[in-house]
Amino acid sequence: MNKLIATICMSFLSSAATAKDSPRVLMVLSSYGKLDSEQNLVQPGFEFGELSKAYHVFKRHGIEVTIASPNGGKPIADEYDQSTQYNQQFLQDPAAVEALENTRKLSTIKSSQFDGVFVVGGKGPMFDLYKHLPLQNIIAQIYDNKGVVGAVCHGPAALVDVQLRDGRYLVSGKRVNGFTNQEEWAFGKKWRDQFAFLLEDKLKARGAIFEQDGLMLNQVTIDGNLVTGQNPFSTVDTARAMVTQLGLETLPINEYQDDASVKLYELFLRDSALAQKTYEENSERYDLNMLAMMSVLQIRHAQTEYQVESSARFLSYILTKTSHPVMELTLAKAYVRLNQPKKAMNQLKQSAKKYPKNQQIKSFIASL
């Protein structure tokens, strides 16, 4: 009996020690978001999907999470889709919802209690987090104490004025990334003109070595204990990189449909045959509409002939699975940019048969 009690006690003490030794991460959200009386967003807030994706990664790995914001309480999120898998997971987790509705006020946070800090993006950080002194101090202290600092999308705005003990800017001489100028011009029209700066420009001005992938592709940059992600589709891998930097072994990835779709596009750029084979073998893993949207956006914002050509090949493949006048017209315009008028005209003739009443297709045919 005594032996049994001793065993139970040892097991309890072991579990308690494990819990005590679990890394602690502070997740930071913007407090800038604001709704009008009709619940319309009149000031941008944080990106809910980035919160939910990263939160799930940390919790899966046994990390204790505290959510905080400049004002405390419940911050306002940008518009988001509650039906996505990762957002549903968060909204169906009572502890997660409780933490979000009662975020800690950053001025009350003791940095010594945390092993890492992760700044969630959204447009809000471009208005409040970059100049919030309590957050700057928390980030600097965690980094100076060998903790891990992570941020994604517009979250790195919180890093631009952080200075370390020696007076240097945290990002000076560091490889970093964040929401790029190209992505701002493609997607930031609503709020961009109200920003005090563009994130890419400001990071470079502070001496950072800015890295980036193509438009809305997955890019994670790791420079020691500083981990930054380019956009929402970089969130999971940014959080997983933080897990590794915290000294934990990462579990097999739970890949969401939107992230998997981005990675399939990236695979197509490297090996189109393998990408097509991968899709055909497991098409339910991917969002066909998102794949189509990505190819259209990549063509519209392509800056090199290679980007146009590779995205046109991808869109041509997607059109064997689905169709829309915008997709059809975009592919024809890509062929024109590539100086392939015959392919453009053939594409338009096929499109005109599918969509005989589409005036944009008719007008483009007449212009060639």
Q: What tokens were used for 182?
A: 């190209």
Question: What tens-digit pLDDT sequence spans the chain (368 residues)?
Answer: 455 444 444 444 444 434 447 999 999 999 999 999 999 999 999 999 999 999 999 999 999 999 999 999 999 999 999 999 999 999 999 999 999 999 999 999 999 999 999 999 999 999 999 999 999 999 999 999 999 999 999 999 999 999 999 999 999 999 999 999 999 999 988 999 999 999 999 999 999 999 999 999 999 999 999 999 999 999 999 999 999 999 999 999 989 999 999 999 999 999 999 999 999 999 999 999 999 999 999 999 998 999 999 999 999 999 999 999 999 999 999 999 999 999 999 999 999 999 999 999 999 999 98
* pTM of the predicted structure, to 2 decimals: 0.92
At residue 347, the 3 state secondary structure works out as: helix
**Rounded Cα distance, 157 and 181, in Å:** 13
- Domains and their CATH numbers in the chain: 22-245 (3.40.50.880), 257-367 (1.25.40.10)
Q: Which of 174, 146, 180 is nearest to 159 (CA)?
A: 174
Amino acid at site 27: M
Q: What tokens were used for 286?
A: 């991917």
Q: Which of 160, 284, 171 is nearest to 223 (CA)?
A: 171
Q: What tokens were used for 238?
A: 């940014």
